[in-house]
Structure 1
Amino acid sequence: MRPRLASAALLLPLALLLSACGGNSAAESSSDTDGKGSVTLNVGDQKGGSEAILRAAGELDDLDYTIKWSTFTSGPPLLEAVNAKAVDIGGVGNTPPVFAAGAGSKIKVVAAWHGRAKGDAVLVPDGSPLKETAALKGRSVAVAQGSSAHYQLVASLEKAGLSLKDVDVKYLQPADALAAFTSGKVDAWAVWDPYTSQILGSGQGRVLTTGEGVVNGLSFQVAAPDALADKKKSGAIEDYLERLRRAQDWVFEHPEEWAKVWAKDTGLPYEVALASVKRTNATRIAVAVDPPLIASEQKIADTFAGLKLIPGEVDFSAYTDTRYNGDLPPSTTTPRPSRES
């Protein structure tokens, strides 16, 4: 028999994990990774994010610059720090840059990864009568506003011939959404991994639909224009991105080892971390910031502009920089296969 969650508190550490999440929390901690030279690269991170991957993969050795890490609870405040020049570069999901662009922030998407979207899901309780997305009409759905799950919900509803107006949307952050979901106060929850893996592993819910085929599965590194204009910092960013790409390759080859590190760093149960790694985390492949990527993000921007959730129209191409593309494959390249058992 699978263990059930006792309370929403057991998932609270996950609120620190992923850039898909909305929110307005500032940096909660900082640390330094010392290297040679006089350049310091200010990097925005999230719990169990870039620093943890780089360290686990051995990619923080022999640096020619120092990294000052600042840890954020989610993507939106991280991008606020990039805009304020407090952070030179940081990692986020596919939706926070759209909202930052909508606010006119000074940011540039400089690197991208394409992964599978099986962990992006609309969940329903195990005993729910709902069997297909169209059945959500008139039902209540919890989702974090401005998150990747928000767009996944919109796109999934559209695919089923519905719109946001056809459901009772409850804008809740993950901890509150979990409480509402497990207490039966909402009929469904649009969320992302590792929350998806946590719910499935606990036996408290099942997948109604996933983001496969409806969302782009992209995640980004976003830099400050001033850092890109600085020759030394630009060079450090190039090296940093190369290390991140190698580290992601390491994750694919060592899913169990990475899951152990991730679980320890975030407080996730190892089984949940491993399920999330195999379903989503290890599938990411580094891709170019190219026209198809820009078009895909433009569609997200146009969708939220149409919903009046961002002010006015956004030209997403103005918020990208392709200097670090090198010989990377196109953004449409198929992600690595899922290693789910």
Structure 2
Amino acid sequence: MKRRDWLTAAGTVALAGAVRAAPKRVRIGFQKGGLLLLVKLRGTLERELAGVTIEWKEFPAGPQLLEALHAGAIDFGVTGAPPPVFAQAAGRDFLLVAAEPGLPHSEALLVPADSPAKTVRDLRGKRIALAKGSSSHYLLLGALASQGLKLQDVQPVYLGPADARAAFEAGAVDAWVVWDPYLSIAQAARPLRVLADFGSLAPAVNAPWSFYEARREFVQAEPALLKLLVAAIAREGAWATANPEAVARRVSPLLGLRLDVMLAMQRRVRYGASALTETILEEQQRVADAFLAQGLISRPVRVRDSAWLGR
């Protein structure tokens, strides 16, 4: 046997041994929509990580998921870019372990179709619902900056997606910033106007990456298992990106969306789970610096301090 073949075989045996010796369970946090929901529905991890029990817990948004990760209630999860910035600033302990590309049109600043607000500038002094510390928060900062405004020029109303939708539909707020699938659900329910999304703001403000995070103790104890976990999610992401209709048919009944609406949403998604790179970390650092400049986090955040590069 050649040395390279021997090393490959030895690595395969070692990796298999790592899985056999792995914890009996991995607790995964997910949000409504997104790749992890599909992974859960299709039983991908249960099928590929034989001998490991996968436990799933749903969260309304990223900040709550990261609190659970810090508290040791889950081992692994995924959020948008801002939640880990706020969590780092608050001293929460976790590691960024992989990333998914940002999406230019899967998040938007919305007003009712009959709103007098025709541009972002028209929202000066108005009430805007959003989830604090979410990717929508970053989108709002960018949208305001594009019109020479700051967060202090509007009235942020910090609500989770469900409460924000209720407030928006009742007219208790003037605008709403939210991500898919809540964006698509809202657009399917009534006529709305998009004032801004990351696509309209680029290249000044690009859609930030989403991040897979893990509990530090889990990463340190089971790096081989973590790599298998991320690799399985990456394969599922490649399949999902290439098969939007199959994904739409599987997920639309769960989200209560018409198939055509769900299919349109899926066609603008690029799923994945990529290894962290210097470029990804630099882009995430820009997100952290933007929140610091607005006084939304109490201290500077060094993104690299919470990054696991798989070494």
| TM-score tier after normalising by the smaller chain length | 0.7 to 0.9
Are 2:249 and 1:249 equivalent residues in the alignment?
A: no
Which among 109, 128, 134 is matched to residue 122 of structure 1?
A: 109
Contact 1:122 1:191 in 2 (8 A): yes
User: What residue number does 2:247 align with?
Assistant: 258
- CA distance in 2 between counterparts of 1:304 and 1:109 reads 18
Change (3 A) 1:203 1:248: same
Are 2:186 and 1:195 equivalent residues in the alignment?
A: no
Map 1:93-242 to 2 at 5 A: 93-212=80-199, 213=202, 214-230=205-221, 233-242=222-231
Map 1:67-106 to 2 at 5 A: 67-73=53-59, 74-106=61-93
User: What residue number does 1:42 align with?
Assistant: 27
C-alpha deviation, 1:87, in angstroms: 2.2
Identity level (%): 35
Letter in 2 for 1:54: V
- CA distance in 1 between counterparts of 2:136 and 2:36 reads 24
TM-score, normalised to structure 2's length? 0.83
Which among 244, 267, 278 is matched to residue 278 of structure 1?
A: 267
Q: Deviations over 1:170-223 (max 9, x none)?
A: 222222322232233322211111222223223331211112222433111101
Letter in 2 for 1:241: V
Secondary structure at 1:129's aligned position in 2?
coil
Contact 1:42 1:88 in 2 (8 A): yes
- Unaligned 5+ runs, structure 1: 1-34, 325-341
- CA distance in 2 between counterparts of 1:42 and 1:176 reads 27
C-alpha deviation, 1:136, in angstroms: 1.9
C-alpha deviation, 1:124, in angstroms: 1.2
C-alpha deviation, 1:157, in angstroms: 0.6
C-alpha deviation, 1:38, in angstroms: 4.9
* Structure whose CA Rg is larger: 2
C-alpha deviation, 1:47, in angstroms: 4.1
- CA distance in 2 between counterparts of 1:204 and 1:314 reads 40
- CA distance in 2 between counterparts of 1:309 and 1:156 reads 16
Contact 1:75 1:93 in 2 (8 A): yes
User: What residue number does 2:44 align with?
Assistant: 59
Contact 1:197 1:276 in 2 (8 A): yes
Change (3 A) 1:305 1:147: same
- CA distance in 2 between counterparts of 1:284 and 1:272 reads 18
- CA distance in 2 between counterparts of 1:201 and 1:131 reads 20
Q: Deviations over 1:78-103 (max 9, x none)?
A: 21222223322211111111111111
C-alpha deviation, 1:241, in angstroms: 0.5
Deviates more, 1:81-90 or 1:160-169: 81-90
Letter in 1 for 2:74: V
- CA distance in 2 between counterparts of 1:313 and 1:131 reads 35
Q: How many residues align?
A: 286
Secondary structure at 1:283's aligned position in 2?
coil
- CA distance in 2 between counterparts of 1:293 and 1:263 reads 31
Secondary structure at 1:284's aligned position in 2?
coil
Change (3 A) 1:139 1:107: same
Change (3 A) 1:47 1:136: closer
- CA distance in 1 between counterparts of 2:74 and 2:159 reads 27
User: What residue number does 1:323 align with?
Assistant: 310
Contact 2:30 2:36 in 1 (8 A): yes
Contact 1:115 1:284 in 2 (8 A): no
Letter in 2 for 1:66: V
- CA distance in 2 between counterparts of 1:97 and 1:67 reads 26
Secondary structure at 2:125's aligned position in 1?
coil
TM-score, normalised to structure 1's length? 0.76
User: What residue number does 2:281 align with?
Assistant: 294
More helix by share: 2
- CA distance in 2 between counterparts of 1:165 and 1:305 reads 14
Contact 1:36 1:63 in 2 (8 A): no
Contact 2:208 2:284 in 1 (8 A): no
Secondary structure at 2:44's aligned position in 1?
coil
